[in-house]
Structure 1
Amino acid sequence: MVTIYDLAKKTGFSSTTVSKALNNYTDVSEKTKKKIIEAAAEMGYLPNAHAQSLSTKKSWTIGVMFAEDNEVGMKHPFFNAIIESFRKFVEREGYDLIFASRNLRKRDTSYLEHFLYRAVDGIVVICSDPHDPQVQEMVNSHVPIVVIDMTKQNCSVVYSDNIEGGRLAVNYLHSLGHTKIAHISGDPDIDAGAQRIKGFEKGMKEVNLPIRDEYVVNGGFFSIEEGRIAMNKLLDLKEMPTAVFVSGDHMAIGAMEAIKAKGLRIPEDISIIGYDDIDMAAYVSPKLTTVKQDTDLIGASAGQLLINQMNEKKKMKTTEIIPVELIVRESCTSIN
């Protein structure tokens, strides 16, 4: 397969210039475009998508790079809801989605190279690892891009107000009389995990409660099993917490299973608050009190940010922080 890197080598231009020329960007001279397009035709590079983009200046496609550490993939209810909301928004504007395959890594092809080859107009990234070199390659490219669920990237980003979510959870538990409040966190190397830890700390400071080291447990990558393991660590303490703020609903469900396995009751013995408000939260027993992330607004906001960039044919750096909401159900109770 002929790549933009092959074209760059043949023409003497950078891969960025080659990509811009093929996508008809205005900051590349007509002379340079002509040389690159002729070389591309000679080498048999141009697929139909590129041929279309050269005439219409758009391919009407968006690349989707989606990865999370538990490899649940599209079955994960939170990410699935965001992608579905994003898809509905951009499809109304006439765009189709192209999902990058995990097999690209095995074929020694980067996600960026794949998306450039497919002549996408923009890229959306949903990935739990902000340090992934492939993510950073896309973030630092010239291609219009929006990143969901990460902070402080060199591009447009959309994420929930995770600090406020953590604060809301702690304040609610304190309003019920709890002072022994623990936190099962997401991995602090993940932006969402780190931000919710900050929210927990902020909430505890606001209500003048000390944070006990043994009451903060790293729950890892937000899975049910990791929530169960983390909760068992809290249950093994000499002085157990009376309430736990859990950084994800899947982890909260695992924590609830661990509590029940010990013969304890929710919320009579331990109150639990989750995070996300996945559909399952309203059907577990007891129904889970949680911090709701507005997946519809996250997906639509990401779609609008990306379309704005694609229409302008330039990358922009905009931050959209989406409000969260506490959903009170049955898993918390007041304490005497």
Structure 2
Amino acid sequence: MKENTLYKVVYDKIKLQIESGDLQANDPIPTQIELAKIYEVSEVTVKRALKELSAEGLIVRYRKKGTFVNDQRQSGITPTFLTVHKVYLVHFTNHQSLMHPFWFDMIKGISETCRQHDVSFQLWDASVSYELPEEDHTAFILISNRINVEAFERWKAENRRMINIHMSFPHLNIPYIIVDNYTGGYLATQHLLALNHRRIGIILTKDVQGSLNQEFSFRLQGYNLALSQYRIESDPSLIVEVSGVMELEEMGYEGCLKLLELADRPTAIFATSDHKAYGAIRAIKEHGLRVPEDISVIGYDDLPISQHMRPGLTTVHQNPEKLGARATEMVLFEWTGLDGKGILKDEIVPDLIIRSSTTARAPQEAAE
């Protein structure tokens, strides 16, 4: 018997068991290996049969738990997530930008989660036309650092199954998932405060229009919160903004030079990115100062090279792979439409990674 006929036999038999009541709602379905033995077919054949049953809403697969008969009577509807066959990661920038380790790891999280659920995954460049592919059974994860309101409103009107990743635009009522940069900024600054630093410089990136984007704005808010909890007033002279489209070492170098020119220079610097931290460390060393003995430096991103720097860079890890995986789970399993009755949203909490570029100040020095 041909493979495509065999899969139909498996499909029909399992479907009959469900419709006859032999398999009840929420009953577990045997594994692919077990079903292959039961029906004396290949696992590929079983996989195809299960995919068809899933597409019809008869069964549902839960990550790390297994496959179960879907309780359609309880829900009253067939879950819409069962019909997704492909996930597109929609970007509005060049492909070279996606090679940054943050995006690379995030894409890895999306790709792996799609693979686990037998869903195809593909990149889609929307930077020119702001058009999405006209395909059925698709979902879209949007990397949108800037807003094109007209395009977003059009996609909403088309009821596109989409979620923003890394940036949020709540006023558009589009589901989103972001890294909690507010907590990240707080963790970095609180770490320095706990080491008795009281004059802490911060180097932020502003865009070509001269304003901070969401991620750096939230990191600054976290910085200010940590200072306030130690009853330290924010000093505008310690807040340096440098212009850039993408993070570069030279931006940190430039920002650090401004901080070093201060009569009362900082004893620690929160560079808000690893690239800027590399530049800041270079500027400090060129001034005959030591890291961390004279000035502690903390980055943000936990780039692969940061652990091998001398000194090893203290930084904040954003968990981008978890971000990508969670975004995929949300758009596959939790998306309920764009009706504005409550935005589907989530945040990934970053982790502080302590290495040797930060050290404590003596209490008497901190009191000076």
User: What is the TM-score when the length of structure 1 is the normalising length?
Assistant: 0.73
- Out of 201, 207, 221, the position equivalent to 2:224 is 201
- Out of 165, 168, 174, the position equivalent to 2:187 is 168
How far does the alpha carbon of each residue in 1:114-141 deviate from its partner, in whole angstroms, 9 at most, with x for none? x233446111112322x34476347644
Aligned residues: 272
Amino acid at match of 1:335: R
Q: Paired residue for 2:121?
A: 97
Is the partner of 2:251 in helix, strand or coil?
helix
| Unmatched tracts of structure 1, length 5 or more | 1-54
Q: Tell me, yes or no, if the aligned pair for 1:186 and 1:194 is still in contact at 8 Å.
A: no
Q: Paired residue for 1:81?
A: 105
- Percent of aligned positions that are identical: 26
Judge which range, 229-238 or 203-212, deviates more: 229-238
Distance between the aligned counterparts of 2:199 and 2:96, measured in 1?
33
- Out of 301, 304, 307, the position equivalent to 1:279 is 304
How far does the alpha carbon of each residue in 1:200-251 deviate from its partner, in whole angstroms, 9 at most, with x for none? 0101101111211111112444332222221222122222111011211122
Is the partner of 1:151 in helix, strand or coil?
coil
**Does 1:217 pair with 2:250?**
no
Q: Tell me, yes or no, if the aligned pair for 1:63 and 1:120 is still in contact at 8 Å.
A: no
Is the partner of 1:169 in helix, strand or coil?
helix
Q: Paired residue for 1:228?
A: 253
**Does 1:335 pair with 2:361?**
yes
Inter-CA distance 71–138: structure 2 relative to 1 (3 Å threshold): farther
Inter-CA distance 170–59: structure 2 relative to 1 (3 Å threshold): closer
Q: Tell me, yes or no, if the aligned pair for 1:144 and 1:309 is still in contact at 8 Å.
A: no
Distance between the aligned counterparts of 2:96 and 2:255, measured in 1?
20
- Out of 136, 143, 151, the position equivalent to 2:152 is 136
Amino acid at match of 1:159: I
| Unmatched tracts of structure 2, length 5 or more | 1-54, 57-81, 363-368
In angstroms, what is the RMSD of aligned CA positions?
A: 2.6
Inter-CA distance 216–313: structure 2 relative to 1 (3 Å threshold): closer
**Does 1:184 pair with 2:200?**
no
- Out of 315, 325, 330, the position equivalent to 1:290 is 315
Q: Tell me, yes or no, if the aligned pair for 2:84 and 2:332 is still in contact at 8 Å.
A: no
Distance between the aligned counterparts of 2:167 and 2:151, measured in 1?
11
Q: How does 1:233-248 map to 2 (within 5 A)?
A: 233-248=258-273
Inter-CA distance 313–205: structure 2 relative to 1 (3 Å threshold): closer
Deviation at 1:309, TM superposition (A): 4.9
Q: Tell me, yes or no, if the aligned pair for 2:174 and 2:338 is still in contact at 8 Å.
A: no
Q: Paired residue for 2:351?
A: 325
Q: Tell me, yes or no, if the aligned pair for 2:107 and 2:321 is still in contact at 8 Å.
A: no
How far does the alpha carbon of each residue in 1:130-173 deviate from its partner, in whole angstroms, 9 at most, with x for none? x3447634764411111111134322211122111111212111
Inter-CA distance 135–246: structure 2 relative to 1 (3 Å threshold): farther
Judge which range, 74-83 or 258-267, deviates more: 258-267
User: What is the TM-score when the length of structure 2 is the normalising length?
Assistant: 0.67
**Does 1:251 pair with 2:284?**
no
Inter-CA distance 63–74: structure 2 relative to 1 (3 Å threshold): same
